[in-house]
Structure 1
Amino acid sequence: MKAVAPAASRILFGNWRGSYTVPAGGLYPHQWSWDSAFIAIGLRHLSPRRAQQELDTILSAQWDDGRLPQIVFHSGRDDGYSPGVSFWNSSSIPGSPPVQTSGLIQPPNHAMAVLMVHESDPHESGRRRFLERAYPRLVSWHRYLRERRGTGSGLARIVHPWESGMDNSPYWDACLRGMTQTYGGEIPRPDLLHAEAEHRPSNGEYGKYLYLAARYRDHDCDDADPDFPFQFEDPAFNALWARSELSLAAIAELIGADPEPHRAEARRIASSLEELWSSALGCYVARDASTGELQPYRTVSGLTPLLLPDLPHTDELLDLLRGPHFRLGEVAMVPSHDLTAPTFDSARYWRGPSWFNTAWLIAEALYERGCTAEAEQLSRNMDDGALDHDFPEYLDPYSSAPRGTRRFSWTAALALDLSQKIGASR
């Protein structure tokens, strides 16, 4: 097996900025929320102290209402990323933190990461009272999801494709096509300096992304715009929320708090997730919270509930993962979209390429469900894809050709994490 640690260490240390890690120099020069949680999971194998700092830093950018922002602009400058500091101007929005941030959020994987980082060095974590600092912030974050983003179904809604972490998933197609509004100003595309246009969302999509972001910003990011045109319940977002409630229960026990409210919340979210189950497709799907319509697509987001215990559709999801739609073990990692769908595109962002973070989530689920051989094969596949192509953002599932930017932090972190897991199982 190839040695991942030396090369992954170079990436993670090279992208470290003193108290946090950028996803990649150039294209992503700030701190991203769910990226930092994934990065900390790998960083804990190199420096548990630095992994704690990574999470402390993202948690310290929390808004008064509890949200953890999608992006933290520590430099206070745009630095070539759009939309940046001047677009969001978060300091003018009531309840924002002293540091400049975006107003949007990302999937809630943070409690998972906090628990894993603690477990990597309980002594150092205890000495620094890491869990005691993180716990109230995580509780506030989850309260925000329940109280400010909750829907009648008991799930949390997202108000922008970026909040799913899977920006141009087919899930959003019908809604975006139906939108007549678009951003009225210039649509800057600095991302195209680092990646090919055919691999990224289109200008038409970006115009609508910026319209949604600007409308949310101009409403002071208060989640109280009743006619907001994009409101979705996403399966991966909510599965990670439920999984993180289970992590909060474990953290609560460790610090002497009551774990049962978190276990009850995890059960409640998992039960509500059943409203997103599509019997016709054999997986969970996103739902338009405004119309109630389930979106007719199989994506990796709909496989992510495998992370939850006592899932009623485990066998169906495993069959789907192994079958012709995702072909686990036959293609590179786990495709982001159904290989047989007419909307599949092997090169374009979240419409087909295989991503390292979602592959890690599936590998974790496979390990936990006792599918060790498949989990190890997927882990080795991740390591090979990372090392052979300088830790790319994502891969073509058929050719394994690298896509997006290189020296990507969560690719290095998560490949490192799984390589350590394989080593520990020997």
Structure 2
Amino acid sequence: MSNQVIVAGVGMIPFAKPGASEPYHVMGEKAARLALQDAGVDYKAIQQAYVGYVYGDSTCGQRALYPVGMTGIPVLNVNNNCSTGSSALFLARQAVQSGAADCVLALGFEQMQPGAIKAAFADRPTPFDEFDQITDELVGHAEIPLALRYFGGAGKAHMDKYGTQLETFAAIRAKASRHAANNPLALFRKEVSTEDVMASPMLWDGVMTRLMACPPTCGAAAAVICSEGFAKKHGLNAQVSIAAQAMTTDFHSTFDSKDMMRVVGYDMARDAGRQVYEAAGIGPGDVDVVELHDCFAQNELITYEGLGLCPEGGAEKFVRDGDNTYGGKVVTNPSGGLLSKGHPLGATGLAQCYELTHQLRGTADQRQVQGARVALQHNLGLGGACVVTLYKAA
């Protein structure tokens, strides 16, 4: 059995700086209730729940959902690094499409700590051993935090290979700020110019400034996923469907290619994108709006090419021509993306789903991409997993 999968409802709370948010379970409960309200269903209709978070003890999903309802349903807790939210969405979609369930909740939240992301368990091997080894070999700079070395190294690899200028990454960050100015749920809504980004403190000389990196934030988002039959039976909004979805993990090329762009998931994105285009019977040129994983401005630029939005080596021209914003070929991150909205790891993938659902409904207010019918979502977690989701409007 293969059911058409509907995004019946979405919910999201405003993201906040670490220390300024409510506890994870309160944020999660609020996002779940918002999604249920948007869908117009009671929690009793939910047959399964997939709950994503990275930093938390086991069964935090139950802690967040029990105030919403204690109905005895399966609640599965998901952790896939920064792609955790979309991994929960992947499992929810799979349950509905397979016929295992008719109506499922995907929820993601994160209560972050200030500062750079770091391991929670120092008494055991890290899953990043090989990533760290290849990064030491290719870029060095052991004094720089690892996430900056990963993605800064990938940006530098693109600069070295194609002559990409640092100002191009700054222009991506400036674009994000212009988009976020119209998003009441974004953490940073102040517009900044390319010059402002270039003038911000240098984190890695000639490679990255502070404004090119997304901030750690706290937040939550959720989606109600159901079958087309369930939506019709209960009179739910069936305007947005998941036309195709793929999850990929690392290939041998992640390490064997000796290429930092591949270390940070270029090949995972390219293969997942290929799978969804083929499954949906469309190409990158048919996509109207994209929410992609811009944890660093460098990764947004690399992902343009990975998803086929522009040719390999063509990302700088893509940016300079304005093809990544309103009036261009495809509007990328109309929400402001991770760079402006923030990046609460477990919530990010479902926050992207929230944005694209509203875009395809035509309810994105000042952020609306006019005539949007096809939307693409890319959510990446190193270690690694990449989820690409293609949505269509009815």
Q: Normalising by structure 1, what TM-score?
A: 0.29
| Structure with the larger strand share | 2
**Structure with greater proportional helix content:** 1
